[in-house]
Amino acid sequence: MRWPLIILAALLILLQYPLWFGKGGWWHMQKAQTEVQSLREHNETLEKRNANMAADVKDLKSGYDAIEERARFELGLVKPGEVFIQTPESPVAPAPDKDAQGKGPAR
């Protein structure tokens, strides 16, 4: 009576293996679900970018305000009679004098 029980247990294990680890099994489904989730997140970012680009295209087609804004900020264009003043974003500190620190070349 012991051999039929061992054979049935082995058969059960052999039938369960493809369900859990075979092609299309539980393991592969988990990997596929995580991959689908990451692709959905990537698609959401691309959809947001496309919506922003569509809004830019609509603005550029509809009026001159968007065109003027782009010309000013991207190309640095100025209207006649305007004064353009450019200020640096962060002041540049002068380089330290190497001779004063004693690290410069010997004379």
Q: Judge contact between 26 and 19, C-beta under 8 A.
A: yes
- pLDDT score of 66: 79
| Cα–Cα distance for residue pair 95/84, rounded to 1 Å | 29
- pLDDT score of 97: 65
pLDDT digits (tens, 9 = 90+) for 74-99: 888 888 888 878 788 876 666 666 65
Who's near 89: CB < 8 A, 6+ residues apart? none
Rg (CA), the chain: 34
- pLDDT score of 40: 97
Widest CA span in the chain: 105
- 39: how many CB neighbours lie within 10 A of its CB? 10
| Cα–Cα distance for residue pair 1/8, rounded to 1 Å | 11
pLDDT score of 105 more than 70 = no
pLDDT digits (tens, 9 = 90+) for 26-69: 888 888 999 999 999 999 999 999 999 999 888 888 878 878 88
pLDDT score of 20 more than 70 = yes
